[in-house]
Chains A and B, each alone.
Chain A
């Protein structure tokens, strides 16, 4: 018997998701960005440290841009080649070599980048238009609540009631972890595991 069934869930909602599911469950307003990316000279860059949702934004955009190519630059190991296809989504774009960056920008947009460093000077030098999204700007309590509750819904077992994260829970988590969504999810994962093994109410009363 699954330990999660007593909460009418089939898994811990805050565990790892598949790439597709991450894109599906992302809570991001894409409308303006998609409009911007209609221009062939456009570059949209998401800047911020690990755990703040850069890749999640990219996966959400990939879901609504049919035919977009997705390239991830790993920290080590062989570097992938970036094709000529557009729109092009590049994860960890700061790891591209100088030559690769020049070639990618020379080929033009639409480009969607996630990066730890601001590439705007290079984009301007290539004569492209750009928008920068700083993912460290903390999501509102309402938006974070939607992100977390969406994950709970995606783990629902049947139509019966499921637990949910309240606004008070969200404010407490933001106070503790700021905008680091990955750290929030890790905290909730551990808390959820404890409650399921002890068969106690989740979320626990503060």
Chain B
């Protein structure tokens, strides 16, 4: 048993910090006997936990005290530490990232006392070393590859006699792989030019792709699909005990072409795109713990090897200042926020992102409750009163969509506005405030004050 008892009390413990924002609090020490302490330290840190080998980092350590503690006397040591800019707090199936403050009392000739307290962190910057990838599929010079492999094999063969057996096996393996992945599918599809851009994008942005090919011969296919996948990939153990755990976070498949006949000599061109939701995790690479985004184009050829290419891309976090120390205080004004479209976009994204985290949602709603935003929306039909929101005023509910921000809304319209008159109106302008989030329908709930003049 430790010689003393430590407790950490964080200021605003449930408020999410933006990466790099300081975290402050106090360490409380209680002891039942006199204790000599070599050092009472506090450290801000982050660590992964879950199925993968642990990755961790310490951000800042401060020594708060050294000396002796007397029994029965409460001791309080305030502290302020920097937090890590990256990675953001994340809770998944195999991967979790937590940020915490750890206090440790180094007691000579006794068990050290320690405690820790977690706090959430939202990242606003993504490190540059998440190397973006080149997503263009280029024609491969297979002859060059084959010659290279054979030359390498020859080199080994001249050094080690065993390589005389190994090198041809490697070369055969490569040729078989190339045959099935490239050569045979290409006999049906012809050369496929496939490109996805950009290689790096931000949450909420669009990834776009094109695919063009001219079949060499007429063939029936089962279809062409484009799939976007986000997965946690965590590795545990090492050597022969190494095991990889994979969990699919998001998978969206678009059918670019239905099953049917591909006519020989006819040019087939497809454009496709996908908007990365704001509520999904960004790309992360934390040693053996990764969140990976990939896109895969597949031309499904019956009774023949498919043409398929998988290309990784990087999703960066949405730059956000909502909970930042400078922006939030400036933003909290009880007036209509004029001509500030990016701010409304950001607030709406924050609300949508917080749907799985009730505490954060309350915090976001609290931060913007006194703000009124100019809106331009397409009004749809009547809506039911959202379960999560309680408005005492007289009025009615309508569904709406902010087409520019691609955000679905449920609006409370006051009785002074005839809701039946505005139904199915496009570009209806009004002023409203955000009052909640309807989880059942994934809609942001807003209360309309007045139609905009």
Contacts and interface: CB of A to CB of B under 8 A. Distances in A.
A155 to B, nearest CB: 9
A72 B241 CA distance: 12
B357 interface: yes
Interface in B43-98: 49-54, 56, 91, 93, 96, 98
B49 A11 contact: yes
B148 to A, nearest CB: 23
Interface in A69-90: 72-76
Interface in B224-242: 236, 238-241
Contacts of A92: 239-240
A72 B238 CA distance: 10
Contacts of B241: 50-51, 55
Given A72-B238, A74-B239, A16 B91 contact: no
Nearest to A16: B236
Contacts of B116: 10
B358 interface: yes
A205 interface: no
Interface in B294-342: none
B14 interface: yes
B14 A1 contact: yes
A8 interface: no
B118 interface: yes
Interface string A8-45: 00111001111000000000000000000000000000
Contacts of A18: 54, 56
Contact of A15 (B49, B238, B240, B357): B49
Contacts of A10: 98, 116, 118
Contact of A17 (B54, B238, B360): B54
B239 A15 contact: no
Interface of A is mostly: loop
B239 A12 contact: no
A74 B360 CA distance: 45
A2 B51 contact: no
Interface size bracket, A side: 20 to 34
Contacts, number: 50
B50 A15 contact: yes
A16 B357 contact: no
B66 to A, nearest CB: 24
B359 interface: yes
Contacts of B56: 18
A16 B239 contact: no
A3 interface: yes
B240 A75 contact: yes
Nearest to B14: A1
Given A1-B358, A10-B98, A11-B96, A74 B238 contact: yes
A12 B49 contact: yes
Nearest to B357: A1
Given A1-B358, A72-B239, A75-B239, A16 B53 contact: yes
A149 interface: no
Tell me the interface secondary structure of chain B in the complex.
mixed
A75 B241 CA distance: 9
A15 B94 CA distance: 8
A34 to B, nearest CB: 20
A101 interface: no
B327 to A, nearest CB: 23
A16 B240 contact: no
A40 B96 CA distance: 45
Contacts of B53: 16
A169 B445 CA distance: 46
A57 to B, nearest CB: 15
B49 A50 contact: no
Contact of A3 (B91, B236, B238, B239): B91
Contacts of B359: 1
Given A1-B14, A11-B98, A16 B52 contact: yes
Interface in B207-246: 236, 238-241
Nearest to A13: B49
A12 B93 CA distance: 10
A3 B120 CA distance: 12
A193 B241 CA distance: 22
B155 to A, nearest CB: 20
B312 to A, nearest CB: 24
Interface string B17-60: 00000000000000000000000000000000111111010000
A16 B54 contact: yes
Interface in B108-132: 116, 118, 120
B388 to A, nearest CB: 17
A123 B51 CA distance: 37
B47 to A, nearest CB: 9
Contacts of B98: 2, 10-11
A202 interface: no
A75 B242 CA distance: 10
A74 B120 CA distance: 37
A75 B50 CA distance: 24
A18 B91 CA distance: 19
Contacts of B52: 16
A145 B96 CA distance: 26
A155 B53 CA distance: 16
B88 to A, nearest CB: 14
A2 B356 CA distance: 11
A154 to B, nearest CB: 11
Interface in B339-396: 357-360
Best-surrounded residue of B49, B98, B118, B359 (most CB of chain A within 10 A): B49
13 contacts: A1-B357, A1-B359, A2-B118, A12-B96, A15-B50, A15-B51, A16-B50, A17-B54, A55-B241, A72-B239, A75-B239, A92-B239, A92-B240
Given A11-B96, A16-B236, A92-B239, 9 more contacts: A11-B98, A12-B49, A12-B50, A15-B49, A16-B50, A16-B52, A51-B241, A74-B238, A75-B240
